[in-house]
């Protein structure tokens, strides 16, 4: 993979279809939110190519707090609306960032990161957190990643009680 090249094509689609099935099979028998988010982060990180970080931030009392992830240590708390993660949460819209250096307020946890995709986790109209993937390559993420990662979040809704994960019960 090179800078400026998105991971697309039939191979990528097949990989994502298999990943959705694998995630569903992995989560289905389990109801523990921490185990399920931890395994989802591991599946993503070890299945999708050219990532240097994959994980979750959870909405806790008005900010995003680091959840299960794979990759280098990351910043723990992200204010609502700050960085790519905070922007996805505030705008309730997936952010596909071609070059993080051009994103105003980008929070650099790993200086190797060049591109990023952040999908908000929204259920019942509420933002419960975000799914965040980083790549060391510029332009790594495309609409294909967006479509499938949004589908993956739909799968998570079935097996994760976000009120428990976010400590709001």
Work out which of 84, 121, 149, 165 binds ligand SME, going by CB under 6 A: 84
Give whichever of 44 and 85 is closer to ligand SME, judged by the CB atom.
85
Q: Are 59 and 166 in contact (CB under 8 A)?
A: yes
25 exposure class (CB count in 10 Å sphere: 0-12, 13-18, 19+): exposed
Q: 6 or 78, CB closer to ligand SME?
A: 78
The residue from 53, 137, 141, 159 that contacts ligand SME (CB under 6 A) is 53
Q: Find the angle CA(136)-CA(54)-CA(5) to the nearest 5 degrees.
A: 35
> 113's torsion region: left (phi>0), alpha (psi -120 to 50) or beta?
beta
Q: Kindly indicate which of the ranges 14-22, 31-39, 107-115, 152-160 contains the residues binding ligand SME, using the contact rule CB under 6 A.
A: 107-115
CA angle 138-89-137, nearest 5°?
10
Round to whole Å and give the CA distance between 36 and 14: 23
Identify which of residues 112 and 144 has a Cβ nearer to ligand SME in the complex.
112
Candidates 30-38, 41-49, 102-110, 138-146 — which segment interacts with ligand SME by CB under 6 A? Answer: 102-110
In the complex, the residues that contact ligand SME under the rule CB under 6 A are 53, 74, 78, 83-86, 106-107, 109, 113, 116, 132, 134
């Amino acid at each position: 993979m090179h800078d400026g090249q998105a991971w697309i094509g039939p191979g990528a689609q097949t990989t994502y279809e298999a990943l959705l099935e694998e995630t569903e099979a992995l989560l289905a028998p389990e109801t523990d939110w921490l185990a399920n988010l931890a395994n989802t982060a591991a599946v993503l990180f070890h299945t999708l190519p050219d990532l240097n970080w994959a994980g979750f931030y959870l909405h806790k009392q008005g900010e995003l707090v680091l959840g299960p992830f794979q990759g280098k240590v990351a910043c723990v708390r992200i204010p609502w609306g700050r960085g790519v993660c905070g922007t996805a949460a505030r705008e309730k819209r997936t952010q596909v960032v071609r070059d993080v250096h051009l994103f105003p307020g980008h929070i650099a946890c790993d200086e190797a990161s060049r591109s990023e995709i952040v999908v908000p986790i929204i259920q019942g109209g509420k933002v419960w957190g975000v799914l965040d993937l980083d790549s060391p390559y510029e332009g790594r993420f495309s609409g294909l990643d967006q479509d499938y990662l949004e589908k993956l979040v739909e799968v998570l809704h079935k097996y994760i009680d976000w009120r428990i994960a976010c400590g709001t019960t």
